[in-house]
Structure 1
Amino acid sequence: MILPKKPNTVLQIKVRKQMYFILIPLIIIPVSFIGIALTSYFVKALYQQTSSQLESDNIRVKSIIVDCVINLFNVSSDLIDDKTLHKILTTHYANPKDASAAIADYDRFQDYMDTTTSMTSITVYTTNPTLVEGKYIKTATPEIIDKLFSKVSVPSGSSWGYNFFNRTIGNPSSELLLVRSIPLVKTDYSAILVITVSNNFLKNKIQNNSLYTAISLNKEPIFFSTTRSMQEKDQSVPINYNSRYFLYNGLIHYKDKTVFGYISSLPVYQSKDILYVTTIDFAANNKFVNIVILCAAITLLSVIIPLMGIVFYTNFFSSRILTLRLAMKNASKGDFNMIDSLRGDDELSETFTDLQHMVLDLKDKEAKMYEAQLLEKEMLNQQQQMEFKILTSQINPHFIYNTLETIRMLAIEENNQNVSSAILLLGKSLRYVLENAETFSTTLDKELDYIDVYLQIQKLRFEERIDYTIEIPEHFSPSEYQILPLLLQPLVENAVLHGLDDISKNGDVIVRLSTDNCTRLIIDIMDNGKGMPEEVINAFNSEITLEKSASDRTSIGLNNIKRRIRLFYGDNYSINIISSTKEGTHIQLILPLIPI
């Protein structure tokens, strides 16, 4: 029964769906996983790089400030310990000219200004009213006393603050001040030393990259910033002023933006004051966004390009399958006209090539079949002519049986029992042959009876030269099983006529039946004659064509039986010779045990 063909569109949809469902997840899932992993890796690496860069720059800025602070502190310590300066500040001058002369002769202030670039100014404020104000020594006003003298009430004490008085006169930038008290003895006068840190110096030292840096003192506004507009404004970052050792590294909210920053505190040398240094990379967040966008774009392209290839390949592959299927469908209908080739070089192309070869074979077999049909018709015509001629002279088999029976009765009347027995056996033999000449199956007991009749005839012929035995296993009923008719007689005939050819007496033929697990019938036919040459046995058992003449009926008979067994029973059953020269001939048949 031929199954109905499904539409081509169904096949096309199935192929495409299967390839989409299998290949697309195999592309999307691994590529997406790799893309996410790479994005996370690059973001993490960029985060660590930015964090390390900000930390390094923050440490660099603090190192610059520490160097500057310690340097200025050492300068201040040198000045407040100067005995000459102490004498100038504690002397009560009656004549202003003497005060001016004393101040003019003191040149250490100018020496430090010439050699120390981190200072903007050095100023000594004193309460001695007899001193004349100059460039470096000035009289302390009530405002100075209120805002600066109060910071250093302890002798030799130090404090840091902002240059508030310069801001009052319009200076747009705050500067950091170091305020130290000058320990004056045996006098009612007091004095302080004020050193102003140069913002230009800090700018030249700090601003050498694109990072933003802001420095503030305590809770005061920013006194230095790489962005000038941020000076004198509050730090716009979260700072815990209660912690002397504050540190924060990561994303911060700065002026409605999310930026990456590093904030740390710096306790000032020999002081209770704390500096806060803020380092911000405004471009870091954009870098994160850009790296994510780039990785996403790469991942997307890594998905889209294979998907386009899959779509193209599935269309190409399904079209080739449809072409092959159409060619097979046409061939099944007898239409052998098809395209010359199939695009591609793979198993489908090879299958199409095999289909072309099959079609060519079918055409060739169709032509041969047509020729065979013509030949068969011709032979039928000839057979009909021959049958017409034979009908006129055909002898009825019953006439043969009746004639033999008449001859046997005459032999009995003449008291010749041997002739009578021979004719009886010949009649049985002839009847079995004629009855099974055109059949394909008979019972095993009938075949064995026929062999027994044949051997009786041969025994009548050769008398004491031959004897025989037919061995049947106990509990085995030959009448219940089938066998090809006239299969054993040629083998028994070979044993008698060829195997015992040189035996003058005591020749023996044995026909032995056995079974193999009730699935196979094994028939051994043995004689005690001269045996067969070794080359004939090897050639026969290895299925090599025997190079014998047409008169060698032994070889021809054996090969005919072998082909007959293979034809009817298959390759698992055959005939083999398992004997050798001078030890007789032993032929073994292996047949299926087929019940009736």
Structure 2
Amino acid sequence: MKKTFNHDKKISHLLFMSQVQKTMFIVFSFAVFIPLSIIGIVLMRQTRDELIDQYVSQIKLETKRVNSIFYSLTYYNFLSSANVYDSSEVHDLFSTEEMTSNQKKIYTSLNNKLESLQRRSAAFSEVTIVTDNPNIPTSKHIRFDSNSYGLFWTQKLGDSWVKWAYIERIYDVNPEKRSNLALVRRIGVSSLNYHAYAVYFIDKNHLSTILGSTPYKVTIISPDGKVCFSSSRSEYKSSVKFPKQAGEQNDVYVKNTLRKDGRLSAYKSFTAYRTVGTFKIRVDDELAGLHLKRIVLIFRLMIICSIAAAVTLVLIFSWMWSRRVINLRNAMRQVHDGNYNLIARQVKSNDELSETFKDLLETADNLRQKEKEAYESKLYEQQLELHEQELENEQQQMEFKMLASQINPHFLYNTLEMIRMQALSKGNREVANSCKMLGKSLHYVLENTGTDITTLTRELDYVRNYLDIQRLRFGDRVNFEIKTDDGIDTDTCEILPLTIQPIVENAVVHGLESVEENGHITITIMKMGASEDEEKETDSDDIVICVKDNGPGMDAEELSKLRENISHHDSADTHSIGLYNINRRVKLLYGDNYGLTIDSFPGHGTVVMLYIRKSVKND
């Protein structure tokens, strides 16, 4: 009976502890489930709303980008098409009853101009003038069409002189008669019997190129209501609906149908430059709904997984806690029964001394872990300092190369040479001389792009050429003198390219800005021993380049601010950036003992001193 009683008692204890475990599990599960659910749902809704706002903002920006690009296309193409045929000779040509020899020359010249325009402009796939004058022969770009004043062109232009339309290339040899966006312009003809029209077809490949690759579907509707461009071919044959709200506002109108079909659509209208009719732009984000659903699904899975993990941890914790209570209960029963050997085994694993020892082990483990982390942190800091030093060295090299780099002016140099030759052919030597001097400056910049060194002679020639150009512009307001001390061979003395000219330019722009006449800039090249500056700790064989102007000078506050900008320049401030770059380049190459100094007094002009080494060839 006693054994049965003890057995029943043990079972009741086990059942009781199971109830405690169940209670703990329920309480902790709800304590975790409810907050996690609320936080997860709030975060999910907030993230969804923010993503929708982001999608709307992105599609608005894309629509504005497309609008800006397409407006620029219509603007520049309108300007390119102007003045090709805007002359009385051309007007008389298309009203002639019999072409004279002079009109034949005009005809040939006009045809060549149209050919040149088509070749020069990547936007035009075909340039054609259509006329109903049978006396005008047909060529590549000028065609006779007895129906040129018929329904086709009348419907396209109406009462307008210029209009954009989406029309078939009616003279295309391709039997499919491809359609293109075209600029149609009426040509003023001297006779009422004949008519002429200029048609400029826009190349679809050019439209695809300038609009660029985009994840959005872009559709553009011409003023005559036809799809003139679409990144989806199916749109060319379909009817594009344009909401009424889109035409009532100047800003981009966004239609949100994410819940219905998972799509965002943006609409924008604009009127082309000096033409009749309105272009309409539609940009569709067909993947926004899919991305949004995917993100919401990921959020839901994360919430479910978090709740499941939390509940699992609570279950494990409650089970482990219940087991420790049962073990403690059994140990207490065994102590009551006097089973000390068993107690010793239980105490060894569960008593207070063992827990203290475990705490001590955990403390030791924590200290060991912290010491390891401190060592790793110190090692990481050392590696980081070494890495930062390497980055700083690389940054100095990059800054040196970037500060010395200039815009490659190949295209501008060639253009100036062409203008110079044209001026010479017209007998205008002043313009030719100006172009020659400017071309010489650009040629110097071009030759020294990517180089680290040049001779002082070539740098001074570049400065002299620059000042000659300024004299052409300002006349007697800019006078200059370049002096070199004896013993300085400028042909062998080397210097960083493009260092003196920015200083001289600063003297012209700022020093002589308020000088009405007799402005003077003196450039002096002298050895360090010849200067009276005793603060520079440099070799006596080094060189000082002094640039002095007779401008109004600066007060102490302006001078102090300028010196500060040259030494420590804010990247967001563009003032004195040229002088800062020179000072930085010189210090990077020669060291901190070299660079720029500036002195100025009100009414006595400004003096800029550039300290450099005589040669860096063997450094």
After TM superposition, the score normalised by the length of structure 2 is: 0.49
Distance 1:13 1:181 in 2: 96
Residues 119-139 of structure 1: CA deviation (Å, up to 9, x unaligned): 122222223221112222223
Aligned partner (choices 124, 147, 154) of residue 149 of structure 1: 154
* Contact 1:173–1:231 (CA under 8 A) maintained in structure 2: no
Instruction: Indicate yes or no: 2:281 matched with 1:277.
Output: yes
Aligned partner (choices 209, 214, 223) of residue 204 of structure 1: 209
Q: CA deviation at 1:317?
A: 1.1
Q: CA deviation at 1:143?
A: 6.9
Q: CA deviation at 1:319?
A: 1.8
Give the corresponding residue for 1:251: 256
3-state secondary structure, aligned to 2:257? strand
Distance 1:89 1:153 in 2: 21
Instruction: Indicate yes or no: 2:309 matched with 1:310.
Output: no
Give the aligned residue type for 1:48.
Answer: D
Instruction: Indicate yes or no: 2:274 matched with 1:263.
Output: no
Residues 244-269 of structure 1: CA deviation (Å, up to 9, x unaligned): 74742253379x94222322222222
Instruction: Indicate yes or no: 2:34 matched with 1:23.
Output: no
Q: CA deviation at 1:205?
A: 0.9
Give the 3 Å change call, closer, same or farther, for CA 78–150 of structure 1 in structure 2: same
Q: In the comparison of the two structures, how many residue pairs are matched?
A: 348
Distance 2:217 2:348 in 1: 65
Aligned partner (choices 168, 182, 189) of residue 164 of structure 1: 168
Q: CA deviation at 1:218?
A: 4.2
Aligned partner (choices 105, 109, 112) of residue 114 of structure 2: 109
* Contact 1:27–1:303 (CA under 8 A) maintained in structure 2: yes
Instruction: Indicate yes or no: 2:74 matched with 1:69.
Output: yes
Distance 2:87 2:352 in 1: 102
Q: CA deviation at 1:201?
A: 0.7
Instruction: Indicate yes or no: 2:182 matched with 1:177.
Output: yes
Give the corresponding residue for 1:298: 302
Q: CA deviation at 1:66?
A: 0.8
* Contact 2:67–2:268 (CA under 8 A) maintained in structure 1: no
Distance 1:26 1:301 in 2: 16
1:177-256 residue pairs with structure 2 within 5 A?
A: 177-218=182-223, 220-235=225-240, 238=243, 243=248, 245=250, 247-252=252-257
Give the 3 Å change call, closer, same or farther, for CA 331–212 of structure 1 in structure 2: same
* Contact 1:219–1:241 (CA under 8 A) maintained in structure 2: no
Distance 1:164 1:342 in 2: 98
Q: CA deviation at 1:202?
A: 0.7
Distance 1:126 1:83 in 2: 16
Give the aligned residue type for 1:268.
Answer: A
Give the corresponding residue for 1:591: none
Distance 2:137 2:23 in 1: 102
Distance 1:29 1:327 in 2: 38
Distance 1:148 1:236 in 2: 26
Distance 1:236 1:150 in 2: 23
1:14-93 residue pairs with structure 2 within 5 A?
A: 14-93=19-98
Percentage of matched positions with identical amino acids = 21
Distance 2:163 2:43 in 1: 52
Give the 3 Å change call, closer, same or farther, for CA 324–81 of structure 1 in structure 2: same
* Contact 1:248–1:263 (CA under 8 A) maintained in structure 2: yes
1:550-569 residue pairs with structure 2 within 5 A?
A: none
Distance 1:343 1:172 in 2: 96
Distance 2:181 2:126 in 1: 11
Give the aligned residue type for 1:60.
Answer: R
Give the 3 Å change call, closer, same or farther, for CA 265–36 of structure 1 in structure 2: same
Q: CA deviation at 1:227?
A: 2.4
Give the 3 Å change call, closer, same or farther, for CA 157–37 of structure 1 in structure 2: same
Q: CA deviation at 1:331?
A: 5.4
Give the corresponding residue for 1:130: 135
Comparing 233-242 and 263-272, the one that deviates more: 233-242
3-state secondary structure, aligned to 1:163? strand
Distance 1:172 1:302 in 2: 62
3-state secondary structure, aligned to 1:341? helix
Give the aligned residue type for 1:138.
Answer: R
* Contact 2:132–2:147 (CA under 8 A) maintained in structure 1: no
Distance 2:15 2:353 in 1: 19
After TM superposition, the score normalised by the length of structure 1 is: 0.51
Distance 1:296 1:26 in 2: 19
* Contact 1:213–1:280 (CA under 8 A) maintained in structure 2: yes
- Residue ranges of structure 1 left out of the alignment (5+ in a row): 352-596
Residues 198-225 of structure 1: CA deviation (Å, up to 9, x unaligned): 2111101113232221111246332211
3-state secondary structure, aligned to 1:125? strand
* Contact 2:162–2:184 (CA under 8 A) maintained in structure 1: yes
Distance 1:252 1:343 in 2: 69
Distance 2:262 2:92 in 1: 58
Give the aligned residue type for 2:301.
Answer: A
Q: CA deviation at 1:49?
A: 3.1
Distance 2:171 2:92 in 1: 32
Cα RMSD over matched residues? 3.8
Distance 2:148 2:348 in 1: 99
Give the aligned residue type for 1:261.
Answer: S
Distance 2:171 2:248 in 1: 29
* Contact 1:266–1:276 (CA under 8 A) maintained in structure 2: yes
Distance 1:165 1:313 in 2: 79
Give the 3 Å change call, closer, same or farther, for CA 153–294 of structure 1 in structure 2: closer
Give the aligned residue type for 1:78.
Answer: N
Larger Rg, first or second structure (1 or 2)? 1
Give the corresponding residue for 1:289: 293
Distance 1:272 1:295 in 2: 51
Give the 3 Å change call, closer, same or farther, for CA 220–252 of structure 1 in structure 2: farther
